[in-house]
Amino acid sequence: MYINEKESYCPYCGETISLLIDSSIENQEYVEDCQVCCSPILIGVEIDYDGDIFINTKKENE
């Protein structure tokens, strides 16, 4: 397992949040509560062939 710490933003409050990403899994989707406002964030993670990590955050019910 390869864990990377990445930053993104909360789609509710706009604050920067820290995420721990398991880069051994190419495509991931999960819900995590915002560390600031506690709202549920749907987090999508894609890892390309070169190992670059792309994060998409959106409100859980979008």
Q: Which helix (H) or strand (E) holds 53?
A: strand 53-59
Does residue 61 surpass a pLDDT of 70?
Answer: yes
Please list, in sequence order, all residues whose beta carbon lies within 8 angstroms of the beta carbon of residue 61, skipping any fewer than 6 positions away: none
Residue range(s) defining the domain that contains residue 33: 3-59
CA distance 18 to 4: 10
- Give the C-alpha separation, 50 to 62, whole Å: 30
Does residue 1 have a pLDDT over 80?
no
Domain count, the chain: 1
pLDDT digits (tens, 9 = 90+) for 7-46: 999 999 999 999 999 988 889 999 999 999 999 999 999 9
